[in-house]
Amino acid sequence: MKLIKPFSIGIIALSSLAYACGGGSQESTETASNSSAAPAQETKVSLEDKYKDDPIFVTGSLKAKEAGCTACHMLERKVVGPSYADVAEKYENTPENVSMLADHVINGNVGNWGEIQMPSHPHLERSDVEDMIKYVLLLKR
C-alpha cells in the first residue's frame, strides 16, 4: 500500500498534466486554422491547378474538349459519365490500361460505372484518344 499510493498519485498527476497540455494545444491549433484561410485553400487545390502545367494535361484536355467529352465528363464531379478523377483512381496508369480505355472510348462501353452507356467515337483518331486517356489517368488526387 505504501508503494502503490504515491505511484498512483503520480499517474494521476501525469495524466492530468498530459490532458491539460494536449487539450490546450489542440484548441489553439483549431482556433488558428479556423481563423486563417490558408489550410482550407490547401485542401481545395483543384486537379486542374495541380496538373495544368503538365504537357500531358495541356494536350489531353484540349483534345478532350474538342472531341466533346466535356459534355459527359468533368474532372472532379460525376455528370453523365464518371469524373476523370474517379477513372484515374480506378485504373493504374499503364500502357495496357491506356489501350484498353481507348478501345472503350472508340467502341463505346457500359457496365464499368453503371447502366448508362458511353457512346462510341469511331471518328476519332486512336492516337488522339490515347492522348485523352493519358490525361485522364494523370489526374490522381
- Contact residues: ligand HEC, CB under 6 A: 64, 67-69, 71-73, 80-82, 87, 101, 104-105, 109-114, 116, 118-119, 121, 132-133, 136
Q: Tell me the one-letter amino acid at 42.
A: E
Q: Which lies closer to ligand HEC via its Cβ, residue 24 or residue 95?
A: 95
b/e string for 86-97 if b means 16 or more Cβ within 10 A?
bbbeebeeeeee
Look up residue 1 and give its three cell numbers. 500500500
Q: Cβ 53 to ligand HEC, closest distance in Å? A: 21
In angstroms, rounded to a whole number, what is the distance separating the alpha carbons of residues 124 and 122?
Answer: 6
Whether 37 and 66 have beta carbons less than 8 Å apart is answered as no
Q: Which lies closer to ligand HEC via its Cβ, residue 16 or residue 99?
A: 99
Q: Cβ 134 to ligand HEC, closest distance in Å? A: 10
Q: Which lies closer to ligand HEC via its Cβ, residue 28 or residue 117?
A: 117
Backbone angles phi, psi at 78, to 5 degrees: -70, 130
Q: Cβ 88 to ligand HEC, closest distance in Å? A: 9
Q: Which lies closer to ligand HEC via its Cβ, residue 50 or residue 75?
A: 75
End-to-end CA gap in the chain:
58
Q: Cβ 77 to ligand HEC, closest distance in Å? A: 14
Q: Which lies closer to ligand HEC via its Cβ, residue 101 or residue 138?
A: 101
Cα 52 from chain centroid (whole Å): 15
Q: Cβ 40 to ligand HEC, closest distance in Å? A: 31
In angstroms, rounded to a whole number, what is the distance separating the alpha carbons of residues 115 and 97?
Answer: 22
